[in-house]
Amino acid sequence: MSNQKSAIVIGAGVAGMAVAIRLAIQGFSVDVYEKNNCPGGKLTAFEKDGFQFDAGPSLFTQPQNLEELFSDAGETLNDYLNYESVPVSCKYFFENGKQINAFANAESFANEAEAVAGEPIQNVLNYLSASQKLYNRIGIIFLNHPINKGKTWLSKNVLRALPAVKFAYLFKSLSQYNSRKFKTHELRQIFNRFATYNGSNPFKAPAMLSLIPHLEMNQGVFYPKAGMVSITNALYSLAKKKGVQFHFNAPVQHIIHTEGIAKGIVINNENKIASLVVSNVDSYFTWQQLVGRLDKVKKIERQERSSSALVFYWGINKRMNELGLHNIFFSKHYKEEFEAIFNHKKISSDPTIYINITSKYDTAHAPAGKENWFVMVNVPAGCDDWELKQQQIKQSIIEKLNRLLQTDIEPLIESETILNPTLIELQTGSYLGALYGASSNTKMAAFKRQPNSGDLRNLYFCGGTVHPGGGIPLCLKSAAITANLIAQDQKKYQHH
């Protein structure tokens, strides 16, 4: 076994665990080093006052990414994780009093949009059909292959896909595109919101992001039994079964590299040598703290950060039957909200509010007759002075919810925990607290993301700040891309 290939993965987030599993399948002995005391990165959970909360991502789409990973490892996902489809992907509340259930079925949603908002059924069906085509022709290539490799762009699939790239997808903003596709304010706002799935501004991000609704509205939304943290638990169990060794409370100090080749890491002032290193750390901190490459750091600093989040975890002393698993209370002035976040680095006085309530599906997540509310608003990355700001925003949130739900929320809050951008950076190593690394607010932003392999041989990248992007599905895809690159490179090096 002395000549067995060895791999070190830095960071036990979703992508870090997934790439560790894939490398173990390839025959590597894999060690994962994580600075926190548990796996999951942003995808963790906590309990307080009898309420259980998923700490981070709350939307589960494309379970096939997990199915594929477990299948590749010779396992069945159902032995580790059970999930069910959710009939209403989100419930939308508007300032004009309208409420729209976004059914996770195109026809049902189109009928609801017409009944509540007066949007012609065909507009919704045409949009979701175009979204599906865009995803299947272009999205699949972009999201499953390394974009810094020439052969990705010279493949037959790309040449076949090129006719599907319309002028509007590249040169119109998502908002401009949606304004032409829908006649009602409500539907435009619903479909503009999909830019926030990677922390971007729909009034600047390219219309290419119109492929995102396909994942939710055509493929469906799912709920993993016992909450989102069960995804972390499943990955961790599988990794250990495949022989991956985890080291917690183990912050890496440096990536060892000489003559343009990564050789291992320094931890506790001790060298650990390996055949290759994969960083699941924010690419900014990888280059700044672990490698020491200021040219790379400056390049990332020039890219606009994605939005961050302010999250209130509330234990609510009541059951709200008018709310579902996922709920959105829209800002009245959506464009101004994004201008505040991205142009002025301020928080809108009328923020859009997202509420996730897992006790709707897992009654054990809250005491009887109560609910666990994950209440989130988008805020700019890189702000500080949160103690004052978060109290002001809390009041804005309460006023809006009181108005739209015709209730008095504040007396119902019997437990509260707050997560702000400063804490997000501290706890998850996200530069400036940005949830998705760089934003997608320019047409070239996607191509400027950190690729999965760089100009240091044997150093690879995966996770939310690298290609193809943030969020659970894309982190799993990034792990697959990285593992494939490693397999190809290993073959290449053997032949040389």
Alpha-carbon span 195 to 273, nearest angstrom: 41
Q: What percent of the chain has pLDDT over 70?
A: 95
Which pair of tokens denotes residue 485?
Answer: 């690159």
Give the amino acid at 284: Y
- 372 contacts 359 by C-beta, under 8 angstroms: yes
Residue 40 C-alpha from the chain's centroid: 13
Left, alpha or beta for 469 (phi > 0: left; psi -120 to 50: alpha)?
Answer: left
Band of residue 445 on the pLDDT scale cut at 50, 70, 90: confident
| Res 290 pLDDT > 60 | yes
Structural Rg of the chain based on CA atoms? 22
Band of residue 387 on the pLDDT scale cut at 50, 70, 90: confident
**Closest C-alpha among 145, 416, 429 to residue 280:** 429
Give the DSSP letter of residue 173. B
CB-based contacts of 488: which residues, under 8 Å, 6+ apart?
none
Q: How many CB atoms lie within 10 A of CB 369?
A: 8
Strands 459-461 and 276-279: parallel
Provide the mean pLDDT of the chain: 94
Alpha-carbon span 407 to 425, nearest angstrom: 35
Which pair of tokens denotes residue 462?
Answer: 């995966």
Band of residue 338 on the pLDDT scale cut at 50, 70, 90: very high
Alpha-carbon span 179 to 202, nearest angstrom: 11
Alpha-carbon span 456 to 453, nearest angstrom: 8
CB-based contacts of 270: which residues, under 8 Å, 6+ apart?
none
- 333 contacts 439 by C-beta, under 8 angstroms: no
Band of residue 1 on the pLDDT scale cut at 50, 70, 90: very low
pLDDT at residue 157, rounded to an integer = 67
Which pair of tokens denotes residue 119?
Answer: 């949007």
For the stretch 389-433, pLDDT in tens is 999 999 999 999 999 999 999 999 999 999 999 999 999 999 999
User: What HEC string does 30-88 produce?
Assistant: EEEECCCCCCECCCCEEEECCEEEECCCCCECCCHHHHHHHHHCCCCHHHCCCEEEECE
Which pair of tokens denotes residue 444?
Answer: 């070239």
pLDDT at residue 432, rounded to an integer = 96
Sketch out the chain's domains with CATH numbers.
Answer: 1-42+228-304+442-496 (3.50.50.60), 308-428 (3.30.519)
